[in-house]
Chains A and B, each alone.
Chain A
Amino acid sequence: MENIIEINHLSKSFGEVKAVSDLTLRVKKGELFAFLGVNGAGKSTTISIICGQLEKDGGEVFVCGENIEKNSREIKKKIGVVFQNSALDSALSVRDNLKSRAALYGITGKNFTKRLSELAELLDFENLLGRTVGKLSGGQRRRIDIARALIHRPQVLILDEPTTGLDPQTRRLLWNVVQSLRKTDNMTVFLTTHYMEEAADADYVIILDSGKISAEGTPLELKNKYTGDFITLYNPTEDALETLGLPYEKIRDAARIAVGNTAQATALITKHPEIFTDYEITKGKMDDVFLSVTGKKLTGGDEK
């Protein structure tokens, strides 16, 4: 699969602070790429450099085969960005906002009308077109932000913490739209998020810490490498848990027993079939991976 984003030894400092340090990564065409890290890890700096908003100190960045230093305007035609905070004009209507932004890509007249109705149907905002953006709810506004990013049919969609603070319904809608566009248009999605369950659906994940890559791989590779498996044993007796002699976490009507891997879990179950009558085996979660890699927890944007 071809690389749609290629970053080689990227570095950027703000005074003494090294925001990004010797970052090298590849994003394959059509994949969902998750970029994780606590606030200040360097995610937004990297995105700003990719989008041509910020100058880099060193390294190379290629998007769709074009060097950002040489052909920034061509790259901008191919990327769509959903910023952390909505950047639309609060005083203007949804239609006026999208019209003014579409014109920047040369989409005007009938082409704009057609694209607007496609997006309004896709993101379910036909009834919001005449409303002032400043008067929309957070979820409604987010839908318009996404429409703005998709207005010119980008090849790469950059989502910078797109679902922070959103209601579950809008989050679901957003992900359904993104997944559908990935299928129909083979669109690449570059995602930064604080929600680990979103990262778990990614094709490839990079965990960034203090501007450097701490871990990378598919979610499965990361889980296998950085966390073990867990057996959730329902309604266990104290004697049974003592017999197993393994560390466990007590939850309401069960105990979560940590084991090294699936093979160990299988061995344990076959050794004590009288104890494992009601149980399930699960892989570690992306939260566990993140905690194990960085020593930090991500909870909706805050480092703990």
Chain B
Amino acid sequence: MTGLWSLTRRNTKLFFKDKGMFISSLITPLILLVLYVTFLANVYRDGFMSAVAGMNIDVTIIDGTVGGQLISSLLAVCCVTVAFCSNLLMIQDKTSGARADITVSPVKKSTLAISYFLASAFSTVIIGFTALGAGLLYLLKMGWYMSLSDVLLMALDVILLTLFGTALSSCINFPLSTNGQASAVGTIVSAGYGFICGAYMPISNFSGGLQKVISFLPGTYGTSLLRNHALRGVYAEMTDAGFPEEVINSIRDSIDCNIYFFGTKVSEGAMYAVLAGSTALLIGIYVLMNVLKKARKR
């Protein structure tokens, strides 16, 4: 147990002290932030305004909607890209020789594998919660419509999505052993994940075929859960302000609060089941990969 705790602490410390790894993990969220600041926020604001044109509406509701969309997108990419980048340590340790130095001690390989998982999840949760805190402060300034349960559910979403990202990255990084491979994985995930999870652009804007493909990716449901919880209060306020249900529903559709799997709307419960189930499956695969490697070595 001492070994596991010590390795987890070492891995976590390394992530935060290795400036290269730390900064590269934040590139995607930073890109997203720049996109929002430069034009996306205005595009969405204009879009929502045109949807409610002719209605008497408090501008903070619109700002709250744009803000909610921003922080849910930010958290959705953060939880996965940070997990991927922090988990690159398992490759870096192979190339630097640190893994050999660690395994020359009487520590079990399974302990080392668990320590990578725990450290990656822990580092990502720290960053995710920091981002959540900053996002909530931003919403407080732009337009606060959230309840305590919304905040707690968002925290739960961050934890679930972090575990999903950590489990996925553990499976992908496990067989890799060179800096080139690590760099390729980091680049692909950083560049691509923002698109496929609907953070850069809502999935509803994609073509029908692509939407169907993306509906098979569990991360999509994580983004949608975050969005639902970030915007639930805004939608309630819109209802109270007398917005027609069709308008609210079309906003929900347009920013992926409603996700459809082959035409069927996916409930929040189903989204949690998909996310938790796929995380459990990926953890199972990671365990199996470790067991098979040990068996093959024998």
Residue numbers of A with Cβ under 8 A of B are 51-53, 55, 73-74, 76-77, 79, 81, 83, 85-92, 96, 99-101, 103-106, 108, 148, 152
Contact = CB atoms under 8 A, between A and B. Distances in A.
B6 A100 contact: yes
Task: For the complex of A and B, list the 3 residue pairs with the smallest distance between their C-beta atoms, beginning with the closest.
Answer: A103-B6, A87-B101, A87-B97
Contacts of B14: 89, 91-92
A113 to B, nearest CB: 15
Contacts of B13: 92, 96
B103 interface: yes
A4 to B, nearest CB: 17
A104 B97 contact: no
B179 to A, nearest CB: 14
Main secondary structure on chain A at its contact with chain B?
loop
B43 interface: no
Interface stretch (B104-112, B133-141, B210-218, B284-292): B104-112
Contact of A104 (B100, B107, B297): B107
Given A92-B17, A105-B106, A83 B101 contact: yes
B9 A83 contact: no
Contact of A51 (B6, B104, B107): B104
A53 to B, nearest CB: 6
A73 B106 CA distance: 5
A14 to B, nearest CB: 15
A74 B106 CA distance: 7
A53 B6 CA distance: 21
B106 A81 contact: no
A36 to B, nearest CB: 22
Contacts of A148: 101
Contact of A101 (B9, B17, B18, B105): B105
B101 A106 contact: no
A87 B10 CA distance: 14
Contacts of A101: 101-102, 105
B177 to A, nearest CB: 14
B6 A87 contact: no
Interface in B6-23: 6-7, 9-10, 13-14, 17-18
11 contacts: A53-B103, A55-B298, A73-B106, A87-B101, A89-B96, A91-B14, A92-B10, A100-B6, A104-B105, A105-B105, A106-B2
B contacts with A: majority SS: helix
A63 to B, nearest CB: 12
A100 B10 contact: yes
B3 A104 contact: yes
A213 B88 CA distance: 41
B270 interface: no
B10 A79 contact: no
Contacts of B102: 101, 104
A132 B199 CA distance: 38
A5 to B, nearest CB: 15
A83 B100 contact: yes
Nearest to B20: A91
A79 B104 contact: yes
A96 B18 contact: no
Given A55-B297, A92-B17, A105-B106, A100 B7 contact: yes
Contacts of B6: 99-100, 103-104, 108
B296 to A, nearest CB: 10
A55 B295 CA distance: 12
Nearest to A103: B6
Given A83-B97, A87-B98, A103-B2, A96 B104 contact: no
B106 A100 contact: no
A113 B106 CA distance: 21
B9 A100 contact: yes
A165 to B, nearest CB: 16
B104 A91 contact: no
A87 B105 contact: no
A53 B17 contact: no
Nearest to B297: A55
Contacts of A76: 104-106
Interface in B102-137: 102-108
A73 to B, nearest CB: 4
Contacts of A108: 2, 6
A101 B105 CA distance: 8
A86 B98 CA distance: 8
A85 B97 contact: yes
Contacts of A86: 97
A45 to B, nearest CB: 13
A32 to B, nearest CB: 21
Contacts of B105: 76, 101, 104-105, 152
Contacts of A81: 101, 104
A90 B21 CA distance: 13
A101 B17 CA distance: 18
Given A100-B10, A104-B106, A91 B101 contact: no
Nearest to A108: B2
Nearest to A93: B17
A77 B106 contact: yes
